[in-house]
Structure 1
Protein backbone atom coordinates (compact mmCIF):
# COMPACT_ATOMS: atom_id res chain seq x y z
CA UNK A 1 0.00 0.00 0.00
CA UNK A 2 1.72 3.24 -1.15
CA UNK A 3 2.04 5.70 1.72
CA UNK A 4 1.76 9.49 1.44
CA UNK A 5 2.50 12.00 4.18
CA UNK A 6 1.16 15.46 3.34
CA UNK A 7 1.76 18.62 5.34
CA UNK A 8 -0.62 21.56 5.50
CA UNK A 9 -3.81 19.57 4.88
CA UNK A 10 -6.19 21.67 6.98
CA UNK A 11 -7.45 23.36 3.79
CA UNK A 12 -6.49 24.37 0.28
CA UNK A 13 -4.11 22.31 -1.82
CA UNK A 14 -3.09 20.01 1.01
CA UNK A 15 -6.68 19.03 1.73
CA UNK A 16 -7.27 18.58 -1.99
CA UNK A 17 -4.22 16.33 -2.33
CA UNK A 18 -5.40 14.17 0.56
CA UNK A 19 -8.95 13.87 -0.79
CA UNK A 20 -7.76 12.89 -4.27
CA UNK A 21 -5.25 10.32 -3.02
CA UNK A 22 -7.88 8.70 -0.82
CA UNK A 23 -10.01 7.98 -3.88
CA UNK A 24 -7.51 5.25 -4.76
CA UNK A 25 -8.20 2.35 -2.37
CA UNK A 26 -4.57 1.28 -2.58
CA UNK A 27 -3.24 4.46 -0.93
CA UNK A 28 -2.45 5.18 2.71
CA UNK A 29 -2.74 8.91 3.41
CA UNK A 30 -1.22 10.57 6.46
CA UNK A 31 -2.81 14.02 6.57
CA UNK A 32 -1.06 16.46 8.88
CA UNK A 33 -1.80 19.93 10.19
CA UNK A 34 -1.07 21.93 13.32
CA UNK A 35 -4.51 21.00 14.67
CA UNK A 36 -6.33 18.36 12.64
CA UNK A 37 -9.35 18.43 14.97
CA UNK A 38 -10.07 22.06 14.08
CA UNK A 39 -10.09 21.45 10.32
CA UNK A 40 -13.63 20.96 9.04
CA UNK A 41 -12.22 19.57 5.80
CA UNK A 42 -10.18 16.89 7.54
CA UNK A 43 -13.05 16.00 9.84
CA UNK A 44 -15.24 15.57 6.77
CA UNK A 45 -12.69 13.16 5.32
CA UNK A 46 -12.66 11.31 8.63
CA UNK A 47 -16.42 10.84 8.36
CA UNK A 48 -16.13 9.81 4.73
CA UNK A 49 -13.53 7.18 5.58
CA UNK A 50 -14.67 5.95 9.03
CA UNK A 51 -12.63 3.28 10.83
CA UNK A 52 -10.47 3.11 7.75
CA UNK A 53 -6.82 2.14 7.95
CA UNK A 54 -6.05 4.25 4.88
CA UNK A 55 -6.42 7.67 6.55
CA UNK A 56 -4.32 8.84 9.47
CA UNK A 57 -4.83 12.33 10.88
CA UNK A 58 -1.71 13.54 12.65
CA UNK A 59 -1.03 16.85 14.40
CA UNK A 60 2.24 18.26 13.09
CA UNK A 61 3.70 21.75 13.34
CA UNK A 62 6.31 21.86 10.59
CA UNK A 63 7.85 25.03 12.06
CA UNK A 64 8.83 23.06 15.17
CA UNK A 65 11.52 20.42 14.72
CA UNK A 66 10.49 18.65 17.94
CA UNK A 67 6.97 18.28 16.55
CA UNK A 68 8.45 16.76 13.39
CA UNK A 69 10.53 14.32 15.44
CA UNK A 70 7.47 13.34 17.46
CA UNK A 71 5.58 12.64 14.23
CA UNK A 72 8.40 10.43 12.98
CA UNK A 73 8.38 8.50 16.24
CA UNK A 74 4.61 8.03 16.03
CA UNK A 75 4.75 6.78 12.45
CA UNK A 76 7.76 4.46 12.67
CA UNK A 77 5.76 1.45 13.96
CA UNK A 78 2.96 2.17 11.46
CA UNK A 79 5.31 2.24 8.46
CA UNK A 80 7.51 -0.87 8.77
CA UNK A 81 8.39 -0.61 5.08
CA UNK A 82 9.16 3.08 5.26
CA UNK A 83 7.47 6.22 3.93
CA UNK A 84 6.98 6.12 0.17
CA UNK A 85 6.01 9.72 -0.52
CA UNK A 86 6.65 12.88 1.47
CA UNK A 87 4.70 15.88 0.18
CA UNK A 88 5.78 19.16 1.76
CA UNK A 89 2.89 21.51 1.13
CA UNK A 90 2.51 23.76 4.20
CA UNK A 91 3.16 27.40 3.39
CA UNK A 92 2.54 31.01 4.36
CA UNK A 93 2.23 34.31 2.51
CA UNK A 94 1.92 37.75 4.08
CA UNK A 95 2.78 40.68 1.80
CA UNK A 96 1.31 40.06 -1.64
CA UNK A 97 1.78 43.38 -3.44
CA UNK A 98 4.21 45.37 -1.29
CA UNK A 99 7.47 46.61 -2.75
CA UNK A 100 10.76 45.69 -1.11
CA UNK A 101 10.80 49.12 0.58
CA UNK A 102 7.28 48.63 1.93
CA UNK A 103 7.53 45.05 3.21
CA UNK A 104 7.53 44.67 6.98
CA UNK A 105 10.94 43.17 7.80
CA UNK A 106 9.52 40.86 10.47
CA UNK A 107 6.99 39.43 8.01
CA UNK A 108 9.65 39.11 5.31
CA UNK A 109 12.02 37.28 7.64
CA UNK A 110 9.29 35.04 9.01
CA UNK A 111 8.11 34.03 5.55
CA UNK A 112 11.58 33.24 4.23
CA UNK A 113 12.60 31.31 7.34
CA UNK A 114 9.40 29.25 7.38
CA UNK A 115 9.50 28.44 3.66
CA UNK A 116 13.10 27.21 3.80
CA UNK A 117 13.63 25.72 7.25
CA UNK A 118 10.31 23.87 7.59
CA UNK A 119 10.88 21.71 4.47
CA UNK A 120 14.57 21.37 5.38
CA UNK A 121 13.79 19.97 8.83
CA UNK A 122 10.92 17.88 7.48
CA UNK A 123 13.08 16.08 4.93
CA UNK A 124 16.05 15.68 7.24
CA UNK A 125 13.99 14.10 10.02
CA UNK A 126 11.94 11.86 7.71
CA UNK A 127 14.91 10.65 5.64
CA UNK A 128 15.41 7.46 7.71
CA UNK A 129 11.81 6.42 6.98
CA UNK A 130 12.10 7.41 3.31
CA UNK A 131 15.29 5.36 2.95
CA UNK A 132 13.41 2.24 4.11
CA UNK A 133 10.89 2.61 1.28
CA UNK A 134 11.22 1.21 -2.23
CA UNK A 135 9.65 4.34 -3.75
CA UNK A 136 11.79 6.92 -1.92
CA UNK A 137 10.15 10.17 -3.04
CA UNK A 138 10.04 13.68 -1.52
CA UNK A 139 8.09 16.42 -3.28
CA UNK A 140 7.96 20.09 -2.33
CA UNK A 141 5.22 22.47 -3.42
CA UNK A 142 6.75 25.64 -4.80
CA UNK A 143 5.69 28.30 -7.29
CA UNK A 144 6.71 29.70 -10.63
CA UNK A 145 7.13 32.97 -8.72
CA UNK A 146 10.37 31.49 -7.40
CA UNK A 147 11.79 31.42 -10.92
CA UNK A 148 14.82 33.69 -11.32
CA UNK A 149 14.31 33.72 -15.09
CA UNK A 150 10.75 35.09 -14.83
CA UNK A 151 11.39 37.49 -11.94
CA UNK A 152 11.91 40.62 -14.12
CA UNK A 153 8.36 40.24 -15.46
CA UNK A 154 6.77 40.41 -11.99
CA UNK A 155 8.92 42.84 -9.97
CA UNK A 156 6.35 43.69 -7.29
CA UNK A 157 4.18 40.57 -7.10
CA UNK A 158 4.55 38.65 -3.82
CA UNK A 159 8.18 39.65 -3.33
CA UNK A 160 8.81 37.91 -0.01
CA UNK A 161 7.05 34.79 -1.24
CA UNK A 162 9.10 34.81 -4.46
CA UNK A 163 12.40 35.15 -2.61
CA UNK A 164 11.42 32.36 -0.21
CA UNK A 165 10.39 30.00 -3.02
CA UNK A 166 13.59 30.69 -4.95
CA UNK A 167 15.55 29.66 -1.84
CA UNK A 168 13.43 26.52 -1.45
CA UNK A 169 14.01 25.64 -5.10
CA UNK A 170 17.77 25.87 -4.64
CA UNK A 171 17.67 23.84 -1.42
CA UNK A 172 15.81 20.98 -3.10
CA UNK A 173 17.80 21.18 -6.35
CA UNK A 174 21.16 20.85 -4.61
CA UNK A 175 20.02 18.25 -2.07
CA UNK A 176 18.34 16.17 -4.80
CA UNK A 177 21.71 15.59 -6.48
CA UNK A 178 23.05 14.00 -3.30
CA UNK A 179 19.90 12.00 -2.58
CA UNK A 180 19.77 10.66 -6.14
CA UNK A 181 22.86 8.61 -5.34
CA UNK A 182 20.70 6.67 -2.85
CA UNK A 183 17.82 6.26 -5.27
CA UNK A 184 15.78 8.99 -3.57
CA UNK A 185 13.82 11.37 -5.78
CA UNK A 186 13.52 14.92 -4.45
CA UNK A 187 11.83 17.56 -6.59
CA UNK A 188 9.81 20.76 -6.47
CA UNK A 189 6.36 20.95 -8.06
CA UNK A 190 4.34 23.97 -9.19
CA UNK A 191 0.62 23.13 -8.96
CA UNK A 192 -0.47 26.15 -11.05
CA UNK A 193 -2.38 29.15 -9.70
CA UNK A 194 -5.09 28.48 -7.13
CA UNK A 195 -7.26 30.76 -5.01
CA UNK A 196 -6.32 29.91 -1.43
CA UNK A 197 -6.68 31.29 2.09
CA UNK A 198 -3.33 30.49 3.68
CA UNK A 199 -2.22 33.66 5.41
CA UNK A 200 -2.61 31.95 8.78
Structure 2
Protein backbone atom coordinates (compact mmCIF):
# COMPACT_ATOMS: atom_id res chain seq x y z
CA UNK A 1 0.00 0.00 0.00
CA UNK A 2 1.45 3.39 -0.94
CA UNK A 3 2.03 5.73 1.98
CA UNK A 4 1.55 9.51 1.85
CA UNK A 5 2.65 12.01 4.46
CA UNK A 6 1.18 15.51 4.13
CA UNK A 7 2.99 18.14 6.19
CA UNK A 8 0.73 21.08 7.00
CA UNK A 9 -2.61 19.32 6.76
CA UNK A 10 -4.81 21.21 9.19
CA UNK A 11 -6.39 23.53 6.61
CA UNK A 12 -6.38 24.69 3.00
CA UNK A 13 -4.57 22.61 0.40
CA UNK A 14 -3.14 20.21 2.95
CA UNK A 15 -6.58 19.41 4.27
CA UNK A 16 -7.85 18.84 0.72
CA UNK A 17 -4.93 16.51 0.02
CA UNK A 18 -6.01 14.41 2.99
CA UNK A 19 -9.63 14.34 1.83
CA UNK A 20 -8.73 13.17 -1.65
CA UNK A 21 -5.98 10.73 -0.73
CA UNK A 22 -8.30 9.17 1.83
CA UNK A 23 -10.54 8.07 -1.04
CA UNK A 24 -7.78 5.81 -2.33
CA UNK A 25 -8.59 2.53 -0.58
CA UNK A 26 -5.09 1.13 -0.95
CA UNK A 27 -3.36 4.20 0.53
CA UNK A 28 -2.02 4.87 4.01
CA UNK A 29 -2.43 8.60 4.60
CA UNK A 30 -0.76 10.55 7.41
CA UNK A 31 -1.71 14.11 8.25
CA UNK A 32 1.14 15.83 10.05
CA UNK A 33 0.20 18.91 12.08
CA UNK A 34 1.82 20.89 14.87
CA UNK A 35 -1.22 20.87 17.12
CA UNK A 36 -3.71 18.04 16.52
CA UNK A 37 -6.04 19.30 19.25
CA UNK A 38 -6.60 22.59 17.42
CA UNK A 39 -6.91 21.05 13.93
CA UNK A 40 -10.69 21.04 14.02
CA UNK A 41 -11.28 21.08 10.24
CA UNK A 42 -8.98 18.10 9.82
CA UNK A 43 -10.39 16.15 12.75
CA UNK A 44 -13.87 16.50 11.30
CA UNK A 45 -12.75 15.50 7.80
CA UNK A 46 -11.06 12.25 8.85
CA UNK A 47 -13.62 11.07 11.39
CA UNK A 48 -14.29 7.38 10.82
CA UNK A 49 -11.59 6.93 8.16
CA UNK A 50 -9.40 3.92 8.95
CA UNK A 51 -6.70 4.64 6.36
CA UNK A 52 -5.97 8.18 7.62
CA UNK A 53 -3.79 8.88 10.64
CA UNK A 54 -3.37 12.16 12.50
CA UNK A 55 0.16 12.47 13.84
CA UNK A 56 2.72 14.84 15.21
CA UNK A 57 5.30 12.07 15.74
CA UNK A 58 5.70 8.28 15.33
CA UNK A 59 5.23 8.26 11.56
CA UNK A 60 7.53 5.23 11.27
CA UNK A 61 5.23 3.21 13.53
CA UNK A 62 2.28 3.89 11.23
CA UNK A 63 4.07 3.08 7.97
CA UNK A 64 6.20 0.19 9.16
CA UNK A 65 9.46 2.02 8.66
CA UNK A 66 9.04 3.32 5.11
CA UNK A 67 7.46 6.30 3.35
CA UNK A 68 6.60 6.54 -0.35
CA UNK A 69 5.43 10.15 -0.78
CA UNK A 70 6.29 13.24 1.24
CA UNK A 71 4.11 16.25 0.39
CA UNK A 72 5.28 19.41 2.13
CA UNK A 73 2.47 21.95 2.13
CA UNK A 74 3.23 23.91 5.31
CA UNK A 75 3.91 27.61 4.82
CA UNK A 76 3.60 30.93 6.64
CA UNK A 77 1.16 33.48 5.25
CA UNK A 78 0.44 36.13 7.87
CA UNK A 79 -2.77 37.88 6.71
CA UNK A 80 -1.65 41.11 8.38
CA UNK A 81 1.60 41.39 6.39
CA UNK A 82 1.38 38.92 3.51
CA UNK A 83 1.10 41.61 0.82
CA UNK A 84 3.55 44.09 2.34
CA UNK A 85 6.17 45.65 0.14
CA UNK A 86 9.52 46.71 1.58
CA UNK A 87 8.22 50.19 2.41
CA UNK A 88 5.06 48.97 4.12
CA UNK A 89 6.82 48.08 7.37
CA UNK A 90 6.90 50.83 10.03
CA UNK A 91 10.56 50.16 10.78
CA UNK A 92 13.40 47.79 9.97
CA UNK A 93 12.90 45.81 13.17
CA UNK A 94 9.38 44.81 12.14
CA UNK A 95 10.57 44.01 8.63
CA UNK A 96 13.31 41.78 10.04
CA UNK A 97 10.92 40.04 12.40
CA UNK A 98 8.46 39.24 9.62
CA UNK A 99 11.21 37.97 7.32
CA UNK A 100 12.79 35.79 10.01
CA UNK A 101 9.51 34.16 10.98
CA UNK A 102 8.62 33.62 7.32
CA UNK A 103 12.04 32.13 6.60
CA UNK A 104 11.69 29.62 9.42
CA UNK A 105 8.52 28.24 7.82
CA UNK A 106 9.01 28.84 4.10
CA UNK A 107 12.77 28.55 3.74
CA UNK A 108 13.75 26.06 6.42
CA UNK A 109 10.42 24.21 6.61
CA UNK A 110 11.01 22.02 3.55
CA UNK A 111 14.57 21.33 4.71
CA UNK A 112 13.39 20.18 8.12
CA UNK A 113 10.66 17.97 6.64
CA UNK A 114 12.93 16.30 4.11
CA UNK A 115 15.72 15.82 6.64
CA UNK A 116 13.35 14.35 9.24
CA UNK A 117 11.75 11.79 6.92
CA UNK A 118 14.65 10.99 4.61
CA UNK A 119 15.45 7.67 6.36
CA UNK A 120 11.86 6.47 5.80
CA UNK A 121 11.87 7.69 2.18
CA UNK A 122 15.17 5.92 1.54
CA UNK A 123 13.62 2.67 2.77
CA UNK A 124 10.95 2.92 0.05
CA UNK A 125 11.29 2.08 -3.63
CA UNK A 126 9.08 5.05 -4.59
CA UNK A 127 11.10 7.98 -3.17
CA UNK A 128 8.90 10.93 -4.16
CA UNK A 129 9.16 14.37 -2.49
CA UNK A 130 6.82 17.25 -3.42
CA UNK A 131 7.13 20.76 -1.98
CA UNK A 132 4.25 23.13 -2.70
CA UNK A 133 5.64 26.34 -4.21
CA UNK A 134 4.42 29.63 -5.60
CA UNK A 135 4.96 31.72 -8.71
CA UNK A 136 5.59 34.65 -6.35
CA UNK A 137 9.05 33.12 -5.84
CA UNK A 138 9.89 33.40 -9.54
CA UNK A 139 11.90 36.41 -10.83
CA UNK A 140 10.16 36.17 -14.23
CA UNK A 141 6.78 36.60 -12.54
CA UNK A 142 7.95 39.53 -10.41
CA UNK A 143 9.52 41.35 -13.37
CA UNK A 144 6.70 40.73 -15.82
CA UNK A 145 3.97 42.08 -13.56
CA UNK A 146 5.99 44.63 -11.56
CA UNK A 147 4.94 42.63 -8.50
CA UNK A 148 6.80 44.37 -5.68
CA UNK A 149 4.38 43.16 -2.99
CA UNK A 150 4.48 40.10 -0.69
CA UNK A 151 8.21 40.53 -0.14
CA UNK A 152 8.64 38.33 2.93
CA UNK A 153 6.51 35.54 1.47
CA UNK A 154 8.08 35.64 -2.00
CA UNK A 155 11.70 35.89 -0.86
CA UNK A 156 11.43 33.10 1.70
CA UNK A 157 9.47 30.83 -0.64
CA UNK A 158 12.26 31.38 -3.17
CA UNK A 159 14.68 30.12 -0.51
CA UNK A 160 12.52 27.05 -0.04
CA UNK A 161 12.47 26.46 -3.80
CA UNK A 162 16.25 26.57 -3.99
CA UNK A 163 16.60 24.27 -0.98
CA UNK A 164 14.24 21.78 -2.63
CA UNK A 165 16.27 21.93 -5.85
CA UNK A 166 19.48 21.29 -3.94
CA UNK A 167 17.93 18.23 -2.32
CA UNK A 168 16.92 17.05 -5.80
CA UNK A 169 20.54 17.25 -6.92
CA UNK A 170 21.80 15.57 -3.76
CA UNK A 171 19.38 12.65 -3.96
CA UNK A 172 19.10 12.01 -7.71
CA UNK A 173 21.63 9.15 -7.73
CA UNK A 174 19.54 7.36 -5.09
CA UNK A 175 16.53 7.24 -7.38
CA UNK A 176 14.59 10.09 -5.79
CA UNK A 177 12.24 12.42 -7.63
CA UNK A 178 12.15 15.75 -5.79
CA UNK A 179 10.02 18.57 -7.23
CA UNK A 180 8.39 21.87 -6.36
CA UNK A 181 4.75 22.13 -7.42
CA UNK A 182 2.79 25.31 -8.12
CA UNK A 183 -0.87 24.80 -7.05
CA UNK A 184 -2.37 27.74 -8.94
CA UNK A 185 -4.29 30.59 -7.35
CA UNK A 186 -6.43 28.81 -4.78
CA UNK A 187 -9.03 30.33 -2.48
CA UNK A 188 -8.39 28.51 0.80
CA UNK A 189 -10.07 31.12 2.98
CA UNK A 190 -12.93 28.79 3.98
CA UNK A 191 -10.61 26.84 6.28
CA UNK A 192 -7.99 29.56 6.73
CA UNK A 193 -6.86 31.45 9.80
CA UNK A 194 -8.73 34.49 11.10
CA UNK A 195 -8.60 37.28 8.55
CA UNK A 196 -7.87 34.94 5.63
CA UNK A 197 -11.01 35.85 3.70
CA UNK A 198 -10.33 39.58 3.93
CA UNK A 199 -6.69 39.05 3.00
CA UNK A 200 -7.64 37.01 -0.06
CA UNK A 201 -10.05 39.72 -1.21
CA UNK A 202 -7.32 42.33 -0.78
CA UNK A 203 -4.95 40.14 -2.75
CA UNK A 204 -7.39 39.83 -5.63
CA UNK A 205 -7.80 43.59 -5.82
CA UNK A 206 -4.04 44.14 -5.82
CA UNK A 207 -3.53 41.36 -8.36
CA UNK A 208 -6.14 42.70 -10.74
CA UNK A 209 -4.68 46.19 -10.52
CA UNK A 210 -1.25 44.75 -11.38
CA UNK A 211 -2.61 43.25 -14.59
CA UNK A 212 -1.89 39.67 -13.54
CA UNK A 213 -4.22 37.10 -15.17
CA UNK A 214 -6.46 35.43 -12.61
CA UNK A 215 -7.96 31.97 -12.58
CA UNK A 216 -9.25 31.20 -9.12
CA UNK A 217 -9.38 27.53 -8.16
CA UNK A 218 -11.10 25.77 -5.32
CA UNK A 219 -8.91 23.54 -3.15
CA UNK A 220 -10.67 20.52 -4.68
CA UNK A 221 -9.91 21.61 -8.26
CA UNK A 222 -6.28 22.35 -7.45
CA UNK A 223 -5.56 19.11 -5.61
CA UNK A 224 -7.28 16.95 -8.25
CA UNK A 225 -4.90 18.45 -10.80
CA UNK A 226 -1.87 18.28 -8.52
CA UNK A 227 -2.40 14.59 -7.77
CA UNK A 228 -2.44 13.84 -11.49
CA UNK A 229 0.98 15.48 -11.72
CA UNK A 230 2.27 13.63 -8.67
CA UNK A 231 0.98 10.27 -9.90
CA UNK A 232 2.83 10.80 -13.19
CA UNK A 233 6.18 11.90 -11.72
CA UNK A 234 9.22 10.36 -13.41
CA UNK A 235 13.00 10.70 -13.00
CA UNK A 236 13.08 13.33 -15.75
CA UNK A 237 11.05 15.64 -13.49
CA UNK A 238 13.62 15.64 -10.71
CA UNK A 239 14.57 19.16 -9.65
CA UNK A 240 11.85 20.93 -11.65
CA UNK A 241 9.29 23.52 -10.59
CA UNK A 242 6.13 21.99 -12.02
CA UNK A 243 2.75 23.57 -12.68
CA UNK A 244 -0.48 22.01 -11.42
CA UNK A 245 -1.65 21.72 -15.02
CA UNK A 246 1.32 19.48 -15.86
CA UNK A 247 4.78 20.16 -17.13
CA UNK A 248 7.39 22.67 -16.01
CA UNK A 249 6.15 26.03 -14.76
CA UNK A 250 6.29 28.75 -17.36
CA UNK A 251 5.12 32.35 -17.24
CA UNK A 252 1.87 32.80 -19.15
TM-score tier by shorter-chain length is 0.7 to 0.9
Distance 2:132 2:153 in 1: 13
1:80 Cα deviation (Å)?
A: 2.8
**Does residue 1:136 correspond to 2:133, yes or no?**
no
4+ residue runs over 6 A deviation: none
- The one-character-per-residue Cα deviations of 1:166-185 (angstroms, maximum 9, x if unpaired) are 11111111220121110011
Contact 1:119–1:140 under 8 Å retained in 2: yes
Using the alignment, how far apart are the partners of 2:193 and 2:110 within structure 1? 18
For the pair 1:89 / 2:73, whether they are aligned, the reply is yes
| 1:56 is the counterpart of 2:25 | no
The question of whether the paired residues in 2 share the 8 Å contact of 1:148 and 1:166 is answered with no
| Residues 66-81 of structure 1: pairs in structure 2 closer than 5 A | 71=57, 74-80=58-64
The alpha-carbon deviation at position 102 of structure 1 amounts to: 2.1
Which structure 1 residue ranges, 5 or more long, are not aligned?
Answer: 60-70
The equivalences for 1:30-179 within 5 A come to 30-49=30-49, 52=50, 54-59=51-56, 71=57, 74-80=58-64, 82-94=66-78, 95-103=81-89, 104-105=94-95, 106-152=97-143, 153-179=145-171
Distance in structure 1 (CA, Å) of the matches to 2:184 and 2:60: 33
- In the TM superposition, what is the alpha-carbon distance from 1:81 to its structure 2 partner? 5.3
Counting matched residue pairs gives: 184
Displacement of 1:39: 2.0
Which 5+ residue runs of structure 2 have no aligned equivalent? 195-252
TM-score (norm 1): 0.85
Please give the TM-score of this superposition, normalised by the length of structure 2. Answer: 0.68
Q: Any conservation in 1 of the 2:19–2:46 contact (CA below 8 Å)?
A: no
RMSD, matched Cα: 1.7
Q: After superposition, give the CA deviation of every residue in 1:70-128 in whole Å (9 maximum; x if it has no partner).
A: x2xx1223323510000111111132332212233211221123211121111012111
